[in-house]
Amino acid sequence: MDLLDKVRILADAAKYDVSCSSSGSNRSAVAGGVGNTAAAGICHSFTADGRCISLLKILMTNFCIYDCVYCQNRASNDVERAAFEPEELISLTMGFYRRNYIEGLFLSSGVILSPDYTMERMIRIVKILRQREHFNGYIHMKLIPGASAHLIHEAGLYADRVSVNIELPEEESYAKLTPEKSRIDILKPMGQVASGIQMNQEEKHMVKYQRDFVPAGQSTQLIVGATPSSDGKILKLSQHLYNDYHLKRVYYSAYIPVVTHALLPKVSRPPLLREHRIYQADWLLRFYHFSAHELLTEEENFDVNVDPKTQWALAHMELFPMEINKISYEMLLRIPGIGLTSAKRILRARRLSPITYEGLKKIGCVLSRAKHFILISGKYYGNFAMRPEFIYEAISEKKDQLQLSLFGEIDEALGLQEPEEQKRLTTTQNLQALLLEKSIIKRSLGRGAL
């Protein structure tokens, strides 16, 4: 098989792993070396100055001894297979880098022969890149569950970031969907990396020239929608990972039915909006001082029609309205429509003079949401006298979804659609719903403040 075919197969096979992001580490160019690493980002991330930078995201091989039900590359699946020799992947990476196609490497792999054998071959690739080719760019490396501790440690000496994917939120799901793996196999390398990072940081205070160990930290990925797990359970697990394993990021991937199996759910479209709400809640955990139990109980799911902070605020109307000119920074962050940046601006501005409604507009608050939860110098600017049901209707996004399906439902009720037309329209409606979800996500991201 020629190199181009291998790139086509193995780059396509890597697309389902979302746990790669901005590098989070700095490493300057050195004499005789190739490249550098900037904390600004990698893997089609956007930097502060608007640049989009990329990396080679590829598998070493998609051959795999495991038969995970949800995986495209599982042993029993009839897909085109390929494998790189270490020198092929090294040559490919350096060639792409010198042509300015990429700024780093994201390396993952199926498991061949054994976890240790696979891990050794991956380490050989990154070790040669660092030592022989003097490659100084960003490297994100996947860890293979079940690999020996000394191999996990060696991987951490050459990679900027490592990750091992949990995938399934509930431990009991492993026996059904991925019987060769267990939660312990995945958490063990996570714990080793977390301890190694902490030890490395302590040693740097005592030794001047201490070698870095996973300078950009570790991450993981959870699949949303492949099992019956609630959003509350997913969020509780994420908080546990942040607190106990000091992860930099937990990534969430909406379940895409790439394979058919009796144990997997049948979905017409990926739950993208649900994934988006979980990402927003994850942001609240990491930056807004929320805890998982405040947002949801273990059995609850997020209301996809409003963002998680708004959902929390509507359930705690006894705390509102809050006087914008008096409350603390921590409470400012709990007001829907006020983000991290606007909260800091409010604190700075009110040292000089009281905040006004027009002033909040200039600061960048999303007043279409915030006005229902605040007082400005004692005045309430909301429209619904603190009635949560009316506020919900005014600021939720469900009206867009209701409008989309209205006419289709009327035609169906009146029997005006032929069977073939109904099938075609159902497909069209699914596509329209998917596009609508994407537009809601885009608008939400564009507004910035949670």
HEC string of 207-257 equals: CCCCCCCCCCCEEEEEEECCCCCCHHHHHHHHHHHHHHHCCCEEEEEECCC
Q: Is the CB of residue 277 less than 8 Å from the CB of residue 308?
A: yes
| Structure confidence by residue, pLDDT tens digits, 234-257 | 999 999 999 999 999 999 998 887
Closest CA to 107 of 187, 121, 44: 121
Q: Whats the size of the chain, residue-wise?
A: 450
Q: Is the CB of residue 324 less than 8 Å from the CB of residue 360?
A: yes
How far apart, in whole angstroms, are the C-alpha atoms of residue 408 and residue 406?
6
pLDDT value, residue 234: 94
pLDDT at 5 over 60: yes
pLDDT at 19 over 90: no
Set out the domains of the chain in order of their start, with CATH numbers: 3-295 (3.20.20.70), 308-395 (no CATH), 399-448 (no CATH)
pLDDT value, residue 432: 62
Tokens of 244: 């106990």
Task: Give CA 183 to chain center in angstroms.
Answer: 20
Tokens of 414: 């009146």
Q: How confident is residue 233, by pLDDT bands cut at 50, 70 and 90?
A: very high
Q: How confident is residue 406, by pLDDT bands cut at 50, 70 and 90?
A: very low
How far apart, in whole angstroms, are the C-alpha atoms of residue 63 and residue 76?
10
Q: How confident is residue 415, by pLDDT bands cut at 50, 70 and 90?
A: low
